[in-house]
Amino acid sequence: MVISREQALEDFDHFLMVMDDQSDALRNEAAKRGITLDLSLDDLERLEKLFDMMVGDVDNDTRSSLIVSFGRHLGEVVRENYGGRWCELLDDENNVNFNKPVIIGHAKLEGLEFAPLTTMRAYSLRKKPGTLRRAVDADVNPDALDLSELVEK
């Protein structure tokens, strides 16, 4: 389904407007389960634990909704600890993050995009402990890739 730029921006505005309410709801659900979410980097492991508790045998729609809620919180953890801002990328349809909310300006390397919803979806598929921490670390402090050996001299 193709949507207009105006609709995409409206959807992004809505994504941002409901963030506080969804964050509060997620913190409340966490508290019911004895987990405190405080937007610190320790939330990375807590989010994995909480997601595992909440996802159980839910249907696909509920799982998708949880991924978005958890992704919002994950993005806020990155934004609060490393800076940056939420952005909707709409200029390059070939960008893997096209029309997805991402965090930009969070790393020393200019142009990096952290895609928290995609990262949360990856965790939901594999449920490998430490996935969120590794994803954030790799995005905030990327290793330079030396391709000089591949270039003909």
State pLDDT tens for residues 22-42.
999 999 999 999 999 999 999
How many other C-beta atoms are found inside a 10 Å radius of the C-beta of residue 54? Answer: 17
State pLDDT tens for residues 66-103.
999 999 999 999 999 999 999 998 888 888 888 899 99
pLDDT of residue 95: 80
pLDDT of residue 153: 56
Structural domain includes residue 152: no
Statement: residue 2 has pLDDT above 90: no
Is 144 within 8 Å of 110 (Cβ atoms)?
Answer: no
Question: Tell me, what CATH number does 61's domain have?
Answer: 1.20.120.1090
pLDDT of residue 36: 97
pLDDT of residue 68: 95
Please tell me the distance from the alpha carbon of residue 31 to that of residue 108, in angstroms, as a whole number: 34
State pLDDT tens for residues 114-152.
999 999 999 999 999 999 999 999 999 887 777 777 776
Structural domain includes residue 25: yes
Structural domain includes residue 150: no
pLDDT of residue 30: 97
Residues 42, 47, 51: CA angle, nearest 5 degrees: 160
Q: What is the DSSP string of 4-73?
A: -HHHHHHHHHHHHHTHHHHHHHHHHHHHHTT----SSTTHHHHHHHHHHHHHTT--HHHHHHHHHHHHHH
Structural domain includes residue 40: yes
Supply the range of the domain harboring residue 81.
Answer: 5-140
Domain count, the chain: 1
The model's pTM: 0.88
Structural domain includes residue 81: yes
* Residue 65 pLDDT grade (very low, low, confident, very high; cuts 50, 70, 90): very high
Structural domain includes residue 67: yes
Statement: residue 18 has pLDDT above 70: yes
Structural domain includes residue 147: no
Structural domain includes residue 148: no
